Amino acid sequence: MQSDIVTRCAPSPTGYLHAGHAYAAGIAFLRARQAGGRFLLRIEDIDITRCRPEFAAAILEDFAWLGLSWEQPVRRQSQHFAEYAAALDSLRQRGLLYPCFCTRKQIQAEIAAAGHAPHGFEGAVYPGTCRHLGATERAERIAAGEAYALRLDIAAACRHTGNWPLRWHDEEAGAQSVMPELLAQGFGDVVLARKEIPASYHLCVCHDDALQGITLVTRGNDLFGATHLHRLLQALFDWPAPAYAHHRLLLTDSGERLAKRRNAPALRDLRAAGITPAGIWQQVGLDPGGFGF
């Protein structure tokens, strides 16, 4: 039995961190610290088209400046592609993945033709076009060098796992059950790998939370819906379900979500402007004392 709480912060090094990241990391750190548990930092750098080593280095520097400390070694997802490939392979062998050759444009056109989502793709799920291709056509198109993504057949995946209802617990929202219809409507057949990004966030985050024995996932409530999908993935691999605490997102005075490119100064710029770590913690509403200030 796991007696100690293990939390993690799992930023993606796609830019410099802002106060929203400090808030999320601070919550994960305090939850572990206050319970005498362990706090891990994981660098989620699988998206090799957007992640940069200098941003990863800046994460370590900014977090150390804020008074956070974490266990070594830091897991960097980009060093573990073989593990994610093995997980993908297991899904493929069970017939739960299929290659999708559609371009973004084709998907948008299909969705528009079906009368949904006039503004395009966001908010409407993939209509499943390539799910119905035969084995021969798939093999021929792959052999011909056509680019493809691997999608999870959500309906098949739901049928494959026997333990319905799948449940999880959120500290704020209480007991939750995964609803297959909502997964199908909210996510559809999600992409788990594509040519330039060999494994997706959804797969890697569940893989690593299980591997690292995370018992409590703290993260922003923008990912609340994703937890339904994550529970399904956990069930497919027999990975344990951690507890979740989805927290509010920090907003600007006008109610916008903080985003580096739009409205949120980077922590390092705040530091250069003379703001102290204690000042950052106060600004995000966490007690600086929890971080040694």
> Which of the stretches 6-14, 87-95, 102-110, 265-273 binds ligand GLU when contact is defined by CB under 6 A?
6-14
CB of 114 to ligand GLU, least distance (A): 30
What pairing do the DSSP bridges indicate for beta strands 174-177 and 167-170? antiparallel
> Candidates 7-15, 121-129, 147-155, 255-263 — which segment interacts with ligand GLU by CB under 6 A?
7-15
Q: Which three-class secondary structure state does DSSP give residue 221? A: helix
Taking the complex as a whole, the smallest distance from the CB of residue 153 to ligand GLU amounts, in Å, to 23
The correct pick among 5, 7, 11, 84 for binding ligand GLU (CB under 6 A) is: 11
**Helix H or strand E encompassing 219:** strand 216-220
Minimum distance from residue 93 beta carbon to ligand GLU (Å): 26
Q: Which stretch binds ligand GLU (CB under 6 A): 5-13, 64-72, 148-156, 162-170?
A: 5-13
Among 133, 156, 179, 223, binds ligand GLU (CB under 6 A): 223
CA 2 vs CA 71, 74, 169, 206, 265: distances in Å:
18, 21, 16, 18, 39
Indicate the residue among 157 and 217 with the shorter CB distance to ligand GLU: 217
Residue 12 binds to ligand GLU (criterion: CB under 6 A)? yes
Nearer to ligand GLU, 110 or 170 (CB): 170
Hey, how many other C-beta atoms are within 10 angstroms of the C-beta on 11? 20
Beta strand ranges found along 171-207 (DSSP E) = 174-177, 191-193
Residue (10 or 235) nearer to ligand GLU, CB: 10
| Binding of residue 234 to ligand GLU (CB under 6 A) | no
For residue 154, the SS3 value is: helix
User: Which of 205, 214, 235, 236 is the binder for ligand GLU (CB under 6 A)?
Assistant: 205
User: In angstroms, what is the minimal distance from the CB of 110 to ligand GLU?
Assistant: 29
Binding of ligand GLU by 10 (CB under 6 A)? yes
Sheet holding 216-220, edge to edge: 174-177, 167-170, 243-247, 216-220
Q: Biggest alpha carbon distance in the chain?
A: 64
List Cα–Cα distances, 170 to 29, 164, 173, 210, 259, in angstroms.
Answer: 18, 18, 5, 17, 25
Chain positions 39 to 58 lying near ligand GLU, rule: CB under 6 A, are 44
CA dihedral for 201, 151, 101, 93, sign (positive or negative): positive
| Binding footprint of ligand GLU on the chain (CB under 6 A) | 10-12, 44, 205, 219, 223
